[in-house]
Amino acid sequence: MKQRSRSLRLIPPLQKGELRQFGYSIKLPPDERRIALQRAVHKYPVVSVMRKLNALYVLQKNMYPQNALKFKADEKWLKTNFYVAKSPSPALLRKGRRSLKKSKKQMSRKLKRTRKSRSPLRFKTNMM
């Protein structure tokens, strides 16, 4: 049996005080943290700030779960308020439509099969 080679998922390198220079601290209330994150988004792209918060979440989740939840909540807040996802390519959309049509066909076939199985059995009888 062939073994798949797995690439290691690495946490991006963090530098101390990258978010602190904007006034971000885990000890602050959520409103003040979010103001600091807004300042950070003006200098860095939203995705990189989200990655920094995710890295902090991953590093803190076992030792300090309360802090980790705050990092995760801040990342979620950034995602809902600032992050604009790329729209899928038209090729992917077409593929999705095809698979949807296919699944509809499969469902109708399944329904026909179940209807047949529910119908009363018809036996051929020999009348003599």
45-88 pLDDT tens trace: 999 999 999 999 999 999 999 999 999 999 999 999 988 777 66
Of 83, 65, 67, 73, nearest in space to 31 by CA: 73
90-104 pLDDT tens trace: 665 665 555 555 566
- pTM of the predicted structure, to 2 decimals: 0.60
User: Max alpha carbon distance in the chain (Å)?
Assistant: 99
Domain locations in the chain as residue ranges: 24-81
Angle at 45 between CA 44 and CA 51, to 5 degrees: 95
Give the per-residue pLDDT at 103: 60
Cα(87)–Cα(84) distance, integer angstroms: 9
